[in-house]
Each structure stands twice: as C-alpha cells, then as structure tokens.
Amino acid sequence: MRKRIIAGNWKMYKKMGEAKAFIAEVKGRLPITAKVEMVICPPSPYLSELVNESEGTSLKIGAQTMHDVEEGAFTGEVSPSMLADMNVEYVILGHSERRQYFNETDESVNKKVHAAFAHQLTPIVCVGESLEEREEGKTVERVSSQVEKAFNGISADQAKAAIIAYEPIWAIGTGKTATSEDANEVCKEIRQEISKLYDESTAAAVRIQYGGSVKPENIAELLSMEHIDGALVGGASLVADSFLKLVELA
C-alpha cells in the first residue's frame, strides 16, 4: 500500500510572516499521526525557519530546487548539503518552471537526483509534456524519456523511495486539469517505465503524484485513480484552509 503524499509548492510567494502564520495555523489543526504525508516547499530563505516551526509535527519541509554539488562558486545557488544541514527532507527537482526559465535539462535533473540521495533528501522528480507534445500524441514518449534520464544510474532501492510528479505543463497554474482518466493513464505509463528500468516491485513501490491545477474540488476524483498516489499543488497550497482540505480529502 503506497502512502499518499500531498506536497505544496509555494513557488516565489509569501513573506516570512505569512509563511510562519501558515505553519502555525496548519500545526494547530494537524492530526498527530497522519495517514497522508504532508510537505510544504517554501522559498529557500524560509526553509530553516519553517523546519524549526514544524518540528515535532507530521508536516515536513521541502526545497523547490537545489544545485548538485556540495559547494563552490555558484552565486545564488543552494547545495544539497546545505538543505540536509537545515534538516530539510524533500526537494522538488526538474519542475517545468525550472526547465523553462533556468535551463534545467534531463541531464542536470539526473545529477540532482543522485545528489539528493547522497544527502538523504527525498527527490520529487517532475516530468510532463507541453501542450504541443500532447497534441502531437507524444505525451508518453516525452514523459517516459524524462523518467528514464532522471533515473539513470539510480539504484532500485533509491527509486523505490523517490516520488515522481506527473505535471502536464499546460495544466500548471492555468486552471485546466487533465481528466482523472488521462492523468491516470500517464501515471500508469510512468509506472511501466519504472518497471522496465527496474522491476515490478520497484514500480509498485514508487509513488506518483499528479500536479496541475489541483484543488479541493478535484482532488478526490484524481486520487480515486489506481496510479495516482498524491498531488503536487501550487496555487491551492498557499492558503492553510485549502491545503488542509486537500490533506483531509486525500
């Protein structure tokens, strides 16, 4: 049985006071032992503070990106060892906005997946097709290739612990959601790709989230699908009420 996981990607939103108020509100209303894994990925300047604020609760903190090397002359970057040092537990890798605006490639994502595991960070590896690729019938080809490249050289045990987020680019922040059947179909193909790369037990263990305009109104239907184990949520994770609603509905 795969544990469901709801992760909030705050992108470049909120001030420190708002971020702390969110955690305080969620903390006060959290079940002590949650059956759902909950992660908030705030902007990097807030990571340390929010790890401290959420300590002792079932709410975990993740980063939105990182570099793949320990340290060096990489102005503006955050290293995997810095995240580990702050007790951050998850890291989103290869989000389509990072691929689009910050030149992340399948190869750099792969290096980061290796670096995440080397520092005991759980990677949330994002894959997804553009609208053009979907219209040309290339969704499965695109997504399978992203998975294959991201997991190059990663062991089966590591792959089992990874999280893959299927996020069709055309559904992110647009209000357009893939139908639950379409999302499930692609998640099933991702699982098959993992089975091809490793074996069936690895494929059965890996958790696959759907992301793209998930909100309280559509999460139950998406999560009723066999291959969807959770959601990576942008906009709807910014408000404590709706984040908690998503967790409750999961």
What residues are annotated to the active site? 95, 167
> Shortest Cβ distance from residue 125 to ligand PEP (Å)?
12
Tell me the site size for ligand PEP, rule CB under 6 A.
14
Residue 90 DSSP label: E
DSSP string, 99-134: HHHS---HHHHHHHHHHHHHTTPEEEEEE---HHHH
Q: How many CA atoms lie within 13 A of 234 on its CB side?
A: 19
Q: Taking CB under 6 A as the rule, does residue 232 contact ligand PEP?
A: yes
Nearer to ligand PEP, 8 or 80 (CB): 8
Which residue minimizes CB distance to ligand PEP? 234
Subset of residues 162 to 221 that bind ligand PEP, contact rule: CB under 6 A: 167, 172-173, 211-214
Q: Going residue by residue from 7 to 36, which x/- string records binding to ligand PEP, judged by CB under 6 A?
A: --x-x-------------------------
Q: What minimum distance in Å lies between the beta carbon of 212 and ligand PEP? A: 5
84-99 burial code (b ≥16 CB/10 A, e <16):
bebebbbbbbbbbbbb
Binding residue ranges for substrate? 9-11, 173, 213, 234-235
- Residue 143 or residue 203: which is nearer to ligand PEP going by CB? 143
What is d(CA 5, CA 191) in angstroms, rounded to the nearest whole number? Answer: 17
Task: Compute CA distances 179 → 168, 218, 222, 250, whole Å.
Answer: 11, 10, 8, 17
C-alpha 4/C-alpha 131 separation (Å) is 28
Q: Which stretch binds ligand PEP (CB under 6 A): 45-53, 76-84, 188-196, 234-242?
A: 234-242
Query: Can you give the binding site for ligand PEP, defined by CB under 6 A?
Result: 9, 11, 167, 172-173, 211-214, 232-236
